[in-house]
Copies of this chain bind each other. A is one copy, B any other.
């Protein structure tokens, strides 16, 4: 898998938050219900995002979690870096240690292209952008079986 499960869940939660009223704290429980992710697992993941300064949290009633920046200022790459780290963009297809431009393996050129296209995708898509696209096209964020349309609900 390109992204870890944690990262995918983090992205889904971030998209969910970007679709909420700005500045409002959203309880993790609410998100875990809507997104069909284990509450405790999601909590752990969002704690990482909080630690990285992407989310702010607030305890107690009316508490929850919210985006620090506006959704249109957060490219997907920020979330991916916070959870999966930079390996995705530094690691190589053949998994050789110490790979680099100065001593590349035979796959380097093609892989570098591909990696760039992955980076482009993650850098040039913001949360808000995807949310808007989701609303316009009535897309879903949860599983097929869930019938729980995130956008426009």
Instruction: State the A residues within 8 Å of B (CB).
Output: 1-3, 5, 8, 11-12, 15, 87, 91, 93-99, 103-111, 113-114, 117-118, 121, 125, 130-131, 133-134, 137, 139-145, 151
Contact of A106 among B104, B108, B139 (CB under 8 A): B139
Beta-carbon contact of B98 and A143 below 8 Å: yes
Please name all residues of chain B whose beta carbon is closer than 8 Å to the beta carbon of A11 when the two chains form the complex: 94
**Given the complex of chains A and B, what is the CA–CA distance between A51 and B145 in angstroms?**
36
Of the candidates B96, B109, B144, the one whose C-beta lies within 8 Å of that of A96 is: B144
A-B contacts, 7 listed (Cβ < 8 Å): A1-B1, A96-B143, A98-B144, A99-B144, A105-B140, A110-B121, A111-B121
Known contacts A110-B121, A131-B106; decide if A95 and B139 are in contact (CB<8 Å).
Answer: no
B121:A106 contact, CB within 8 angstroms: no
Which B residues touch A97, using CB under 8 A? Answer: 143-145
- Choose one: B2, B104, B117, B151; the contact of A139 (CB below 8 Å): B104
Q: Is the CB of A105 within 8 A of B141?
A: yes
- B contact residues around A113 at 8 Å (CB): 117, 121
